Amino acid sequence: MRIGFLGLGQMGAPMAERLLATDIELHVFDPRPEAMAPFVARGATAHASPRAVADQAPIVLACLPSGAASEDAALGPDGVVHGHAIRIHAEMSTIGRRAIEAIAQGLAAHDIALVDAPITGGPPGARAGTLAIMAAGPAAAVAALRPTLDRIGRSVFVLGEIAGQAQVMKLVNNLLVAANIVTAFEAFALGAKAGLDPDTMVELVNAGTGRSFASSEIMPVVLSGRFGFGATIAIMDKDVALGLEEARAQDVPMWAIEQAARVWRFATSQGAGAQDLSELARLMEGWAGTEIRSRPKH
């Protein structure tokens, strides 16, 4: 089975690694040769463009950092649309409904099916193979892609046959995560400033009604001082902006989430975009005049 993968970044690389198998001939592209080198060492074939990958693989998956990058990889001069082998293109990036609809329309003109297939679970989930994958597109294409998706994630949720439905679902998810992170950091900063032990706070919240992905998976990273969850502030800022764009298109008020969005936008505007999203806690700590870290046990 010949499969192509475009984008070997923080999310793409661990997903593509799960396709390194004896029954798969993996073809990869990333603009950084150093990102492709480990895959070549393990038997994959590196290519100079998305088009070259699509010349070899009937199924091509993409995990890219922006809508512009995804559109160029799909429809640009060296895009998969010009490939001779490709029949199904799975867009696993978070790029919003409008971008995915444009890609689907462009590919359909060349008889290439687009499956809208964003993922959630973060880099840890990608490495562990526990991602939840959303899928929307023609039923036959989703069915043909399903065995590949099952290798990458733990759960696949089919959301319909219209490209864009999975993107909206992913934005719903990420708006919740973005707001939860901001409110968790603010609340734990309050407790730390009042003298509560941060480890005890996190343990109690995770045993009670305040529990969220932010408290269970991201706060331990903050407590440790490692600040290495995997995704960046800029990526979350981008996803929140896409979510608010969709909300405006659907005429849905976002009073609370807009406040959280301002925090992500501020952090990015202050030059923190390339930092790990857990680093946002430092911003809250600075405002509160405290620190949310594990304390030495006596």
Q: Where are the domains of the chain?
A: 2-162, 168-288
Residue 201 CB coordination number (10 Å): 21
On whether the CB atoms of residues 240 and 260 are closer than 8 A, the answer is yes
Is 170 an active-site residue? yes
User: What pLDDT does residue 295 have?
Assistant: 86
**Which one of the listed residues 170, 193, 238, 297 is annotated catalytic?**
170
On whether the CB atoms of residues 157 and 132 are closer than 8 A, the answer is yes
pTM: 0.93
User: What pLDDT does residue 143 have?
Assistant: 97
In 158-225, which residue ranges form alpha helices assigned H by DSSP?
A: 165-193, 198-207, 213, 219-224
User: What pLDDT does residue 124 have?
Assistant: 87
Which stretches in the chain have pLDDT values below 50?
none
Residue 225 CB coordination number (10 Å): 13
Assign domain 2-162 to a CATH class.
Answer: alpha beta
User: What pLDDT does residue 151 have?
Assistant: 96
Q: How far is CA 151 from the centre of its chain?
A: 17
- Fold for the domain defined by 168-288: N-(1-d-carboxylethyl)-l-norvaline Dehydrogenase; domain 2 (1.10.1040)
pLDDT tens digits for 113-166? 999 999 999 888 999 999 999 999 999 999 999 999 999 999 999 999 999 999
